[in-house]
A and B are shown apart, each in its own frame.
Chain A
Amino acid sequence: MVKEELYSYSDTVNELLARYGVRFGIYKNGTFKEQLFPFDMIPRKIGRDEFDYLERGLKQRVMALNEFIKDIYGDKKIIRDNVVPEEFVYMGSGYLAQCEGVRPPKDVFTHISGIDLVQAKDGEWYVLEDNLRIPSGASYPMIAREICRRSSPETFKKNAISDNRNYAKLLRKTMDHVNVGGHTVILTPGRYNAAYFEHSYLAEQTGAHLVTGNELVVENDNLFFKDYSGSKERVGAVYRRISDEYLDPMNFNPESVIGIPHIYDIYRKGNVALINAPGNGVADDKGIYYFVPDMVRYYLGEEPVLHNAPTYLPFYPKDMEYVLENFDSLVLKDVAEAGGYGVVFGSGMTGEEKDRFIAMLKAEPRRFIAQEVIDFLDIDIYENGEAVPRKADLRAFVLMADEPMVWKSGLTRFSRNPDSFIVNSSQGGGFKDTWVMEE
């Protein structure tokens, strides 16, 4: 039994993960705590045919999303043609007026996308969320696989598992594709960031410099990296792991002390690539999610391969009616929130909470989406020596160079609480390796 063989290395693997610093930072009540990101030894397996299907759908989806962002900050045809109502674009927090008219190098906006999917009990896959700003998580399955291979090489000889050690190569290719001349750097806010482990690991694996804002400087309309001796070398691509609003105090939040003054001005001129493009949030808003299948039809003229979870927009009176009638069977999400916050289940509310929520829904219908609760396929995890079923999702990574590339792996996150559907690492979930089988 493969499972048990690998499982017998559980202690070794978890010790090594801890030793390498595979941590996730959490802010709780104002203090920063780093915790280990719990790893479960039972891999999630995805068959080759099934993954081929996902791959086709993911490429298609990300291409449509990239077109959408280009269109919104440019011609706005999708608004003119009444496919996406303009209020969902302009009222969403992800829309940035500063991005109007700005074309990134090679027209790539979605360099790295993290698409969250779940599989239902009937085997059907559904996309739950598109993460197009700075999706994190690839480093965890990367290092876990590396350690598992070293701990139990036999397992990987006996099983035909797609090698996932190429993520760094894919990422490097993605960054090099848009680099306008000079070094490639990974910009981190610093070690108190939740994903600092990932920033440093990806820098090490891709050979990019890991830098903080004060090591980069704009001069003569170019970006430079200042090394310890004070010498300056040009930077052509920045994989920035800080959010849009903190990127440049001259163009976004003026209070930011971790950004680089004027970096956005020279990006506007095409003198540096920013990965991912600022303003991408306009496409991964929970309200915009509803329209992604329509975007695929509109921009690509194809039927979407992947399905959204059945979603209702209370903004449309017909949908509002449905939501009010079926309130108890739906999950409601605040479009402005992320990371598993702002998600409530209709069935989980007391009468009073429900009344309050419905009043809020009626007052601000655009703020919420409602979805059918998908009966997730349970996946086994080991807990105290026995396998127990838990809810899990899959974050698939799609990287865009001259064409989209899907990483043959992904981050499978699970909920450690048997009654919970929320798998986010910021809510204390764990992760597993994802095996894409060769046959």
Chain B
Amino acid sequence: MTKREEQKMRKLDFQYHMRLLFPEPVNRHHFTLRCFPIDSERQKITNLNIQITPSHVGGTETDSFGNRCIYGVVEKPHTEFCVSVDGMAYVYGDAFQPVADAHKIGMFRYNTDLTKIGPTLDKLYKKLSAGTPEKEAITEKALRWMEAVHSCIKYVQGITQVTTTAEEAAVFGMGVCQDYAHILLALLRKEHIPSRYVVGMMTGEGASHAWVEVCDGKKWVGFDPTNNCMVDDQYICISHGRDARDCTINQGYFYGSPRQIQEINVVVEESRDD
């Protein structure tokens, strides 16, 4: 990449660490991991270093959405499963992934089991669509609806789960980034706007993050309803799909007691490497 291109980008160092602790040993632990940022129009990844322990056999693949996966099986009994991914990302603030074939993204126009609309969201949808100004562009609409979603629930951890639907979160009035994203997706798709769920990381320290990308007809534009802002060069994309299920970071299947504790720590910071 040229010097000029490099100047337009933000350089971010990232670390993604996940640790699964099993109180009793488990074995024949099959896993599929989807936590590896890949190159796209908006980001270039370098110095990627991936470590998965304990030792395992398996392979890598690209799933149907284009996400990178590593899968495998740990045969021997173990009480800990660790994944660490770190590297550097060059992120363009104003570049978006273009949509080449508009007729191929139809799947993002329909709600899934997790984003299905119920009476509570239907009410919100009616309210929002009643207030639609004439000739509102898709991105303007997404911005306006994002704001409504942001204020319709409160950010509270531990109330919702990975299987909580958009409607359920709206009824609770509480949730985390996954729930904000599902609610916005539910509303946009009710309006037939193609929109997808994105898992990624943003600057700071904490967990992984989730947001929404909307197709404005030509490209995918990112909206973060949890923080009520547009996605910029502080965000690194990991995967996308129709909902959180398509983007499951760690899918596991093992023999032993189902009890487990998951620890996730994500750090993204401005790169000092120059």
Contact = CB atoms under 8 A, between A and B. Distances in A.
B61 A269 contact: yes
A89 interface: yes
A296 to B, nearest CB: 21
Nearest to B58: A262
A91 B192 CA distance: 13
Contact of A254 (B101, B246, B251): B251
Given A99-B64, A261-B30, A262-B71, A249 B253 contact: yes
A14 to B, nearest CB: 45
B104 interface: yes
26 contacts: A76-B104, A76-B106, A80-B101, A80-B103, A87-B110, A89-B106, A90-B107, A91-B110, A95-B107, A97-B241, A99-B64, A218-B73, A219-B57, A220-B57, A220-B59, A249-B30, A250-B251, A254-B253, A261-B73, A262-B32, A265-B32, A265-B69, A266-B59, A268-B61, A269-B59, A269-B61
A432 B104 CA distance: 45
Interface residues of A, number: 30
Given A79-B106, A86-B106, A97-B242, A250 B59 contact: no
Nearest to A81: B103
Interface in A219-233: 219-221
B180 to A, nearest CB: 22
B64 A90 contact: no
Interface in B51-97: 57-59, 61, 63-65, 69, 71, 73
Contacts of B110: 87, 90-91
Interface of A: 75-76, 79-80, 86-87, 89-91, 95, 97-102, 218-221, 249-251, 254, 261-262, 265-266, 268-269
A91 B113 CA distance: 11
B225 to A, nearest CB: 23
A85 B215 CA distance: 20
Report which residue of A100, A101, A265 has the largest number of chain B beta carbons within 10 angstroms of its beta carbon.
Answer: A265
Closest 7 CB pairs of A and B: A100-B64, A80-B103, A261-B30, A86-B106, A90-B110, A249-B253, A221-B59
A98 B241 CA distance: 10
A99 B107 CA distance: 12
Given A91-B110, A265-B71, A76 B251 contact: no
A237 to B, nearest CB: 20
A402 B104 CA distance: 29
Contacts of B251: 250, 254
Given A90-B107, A97-B107, A99-B64, A250 B57 contact: no
A79 B103 contact: yes
B109 A102 contact: no
Given A102-B64, A219-B57, A261 B253 contact: yes
Nearest to A217: B73
B46 to A, nearest CB: 27
Given A262-B30, A262-B32, 7 more contacts: A97-B64, A97-B242, A98-B64, A100-B107, A261-B30, A261-B73, A262-B71
